[in-house]
Amino acid sequence: MQIREIMRSCPVMPVLVIEKVEHAVPLAQALVDGGIRVLEVTLRTDAALAAVRAIVDNVPGAIVGVGTVVRPEQFAQAKAAGAVFAVTPGLTPTLAAAARAAKIELLPGVMTPSEAIAALEEGFDALKLFPAEQAGSMGMLKAMGGPLPQILFCPTGGVSPESAPKLLAMPNVGCVGGSWLAPKEMVAAGDWAGITALARAAAAFAK
């Protein structure tokens, strides 16, 4: 599955921080039950790669990727754990080469027109705008859409249930990313029904 198809599979890509591997499967199942199939498991915790493997093996229908990739060796590790895509907060030639070598779909982060053009030169035209809110959100996306209409964005960082529908209405936005679908307290409390409700609301956003 190519990255644009993954982006089209879900209006909201949840950014997940999984501290305990035993949370991975019920959390992913709760999101999938609510209609959110694309899951970004950030590599910010020791449990992250084991969480990816557990979700891939136990949650049918989930499209599992990793996020917060900042080192080249992490692409192969993510692929070995079963991830089908990776998200980075920024892009360097080293990361681009490593993603290609690992044969994993990449959604690279950019924040400026020069970074977007550099990503195009590396062969990527589906990009994460990060951090979206700080970059100017809708104003920035509209401005980038003039000279760079070929880029499809996933704005992430500061996106909320209030701003998501407006962002999704923009022609150069394919999906949005956000952490609000899996609040730390709800995960810690095992409030899976509550997370399914959040997912259902987000899955209803049109693209």
Q: Which amino acid is at 69?
A: V
How many separate helices (H) and strands (E) can be counted in the chain? 11, 9
Give the binding range for ligand 3PG (CB under 6 A) out of 22-30, 79-87, 150-158, 163-171.
Answer: 150-158
Q: Is 173 in the site for ligand 3PG (CB under 6 A)?
A: no
Q: Is 15 in the site for ligand 3PG (CB under 6 A)?
A: yes
Query: Which residue is nearest to ligand 3PG, using beta carbons?
Result: 179
Q: Is 156 in the site for ligand 3PG (CB under 6 A)?
A: yes
Residue 20 is encoded by which pair of tokens? 């305990």
Using the structure block, give the residue that is written with the tokens 């701003």. Answer: 163
Report the C-alpha gap between 207 and 193 in whole angstroms: 25
Residue among 69, 74, 72, 181 at smallest CA distance from 130: 69
Site map for ligand 3PG, 55-84, x if CB under 6 A? ------------------------------
Contacting ligand 3PG within 83-122 (CB under 6 A):
none
Whether residue 131 is preceded by a cis peptide bond, meaning omega within 30 degrees of 0, is: yes
Instruction: Provide the CB-side half-sphere exposure for 140 (13 A, CA).
Output: 19
Give the binding range for ligand 3PG (CB under 6 A) out of 3-11, 47-55, 142-150, 156-164.
Answer: 156-164
Using the structure block, give the residue that is written with the tokens 């959040």. Answer: 198
When the beta carbons of 65 and 178 are compared against ligand 3PG, the nearer one is 178
> Is 166 annotated as catalytic?
no
> Is 20 annotated as catalytic?
no
Binding site for ligand 3PG (CB under 6 A): 15, 156-159, 178-179
